[in-house]
Amino acid sequence: MAGIRKLRKIQLGRETTAGTNVSASTIWRGTGVIDDNLEVIFVEEDVGYKSGVDRTMIPKVEAMLELEETPATFEQLPHILDMGVEAATASADGSGSAYIYNYPFAENTDTQTVKSYSIEGGDNTQEEEFSYGFCTGFNLSGAAGEAVTMSATVVGRQVSADTFSSTATLPTVEEVLFSKGKLYIDDSDGAFGGTQKTSTFRDFNLEVDTGWRAVYTGDGELYFTFLKNVGAEITLDITFEHDSTAVAEIANWRAETARLIRLDFLGSTVTTAGTSYGTKALRIDLAGKWESFEPLDDTDGNDTVTGTFRSRYNSTASEFAIIRVANLLASLP
């Protein structure tokens, strides 16, 4: 039977040993297709044929999956963070129902490791898969009256054709909603979450280059040998109402004043409140400075202004960047 669009799917499996394929355990609730980055190179040579001859080579292989923009969920965002920041182990929130996943970005250490994934994709005609999947970059964004969205780029070793695992299940998920979010901005000698900025937060765009890179060596294989983290680059665009908060942050930009920014998105209430959370949650904490502010913009006759914040380590606060997710999963499927 020919392929049917609605029969496409993406399945994920958490590898025990990086690069050793495992059966998928969960279905990704979003869209995307596997891209085989294999490149066939036709060798240039002077051999007396106007047509050229069919001498080719494949010097390396690589797989890619673009997880396309889809509503972010408290249950599946941790898969991207496990692949792109650091493999996290859930911790119980005291005696509460929630489990907390912490994802600190490395400041001056090379000891972090990510969780590699086996990825399956395709439709009813053909499944393709790859192992050693890791995330090179991801995006979180949202605007008033909408869901927060997530997208990511996943790279792996080599695409091969096979069949879908029958072990993957469709998870229950809850969307992260922008309107349930709060914005906090504080001085670097304070703490994250000290001062909420109300009636001003219009939208945001968080762009993360995770810093993880595939390293190819002469090691007997065409696929990459291992991963290395060369340092994450994190930028956050925030659109404000053009109000006193915006005016103050523009002044902080001009004065090169370090800031602590928290984005806090809450979900449904958990059965038993814990020490830190009474709801599901997505919390993004970034230290750094404003890099730029755009000129005034017009949103339906309403003045707004957008600033770009670059996250960097701040010695006063001893902070860089960390993302936390609270959900009801004791472990990721």
Residue in 322, 247, 230, 323 with CA at minimum distance from that of residue 290: 247
In tens, the pLDDT along 142-189 reads: 999 999 999 999 999 999 999 999 999 999 999 999 999 999 999 999
Q: How confident is the model at residue 301 (pLDDT cuts 50, 70, 90)?
A: confident
Least confident piece of the model among 13-27, 62-76, 78-92, 294-308: 294-308
From residue 132, how far is each of 66, 215, 251, 269, 300 by CA, in Å?
15, 12, 46, 36, 47
C-alpha triplet 283, 288, 292: angle, nearest 5°: 110
Confidence band for 300, pLDDT divided at 50, 70 and 90:
confident
SS3 of residue 234 by DSSP: strand
Q: What is the pLDDT of residues 238-269, one digit of tens each?
A: 999 999 999 999 999 999 999 999 999 999 99
pLDDT band of 110, cuts 50, 70, 90: confident
Q: What is the DSSP letter of 276?
A: S
> Does pLDDT of 139 surpass 90?
yes
Residue 1 has pLDDT above 80, yes or no: no
The predicted model scores a pTM of 0.96
* Mean of all residue pLDDT scores within the chain: 97
- Residue 145 corresponds to which tokens in the numbers above? 């009256």
Q: What angle do CA 263, 264, 265 make, to 5 degrees?
A: 120
The predicted pLDDT at position 293 comes to 98
Instruction: Report, as an integer, the average pLDDT of 52-66.
Output: 98
What are the tokens at 304?
Answer: 């707004």
Contacts (Cβ under 8 Å, ≥6 apart) of 312: 287, 288, 289, 320
Q: What span, in angstroms and rounded, lies between the C-alpha atoms of 85 and 82?
A: 6
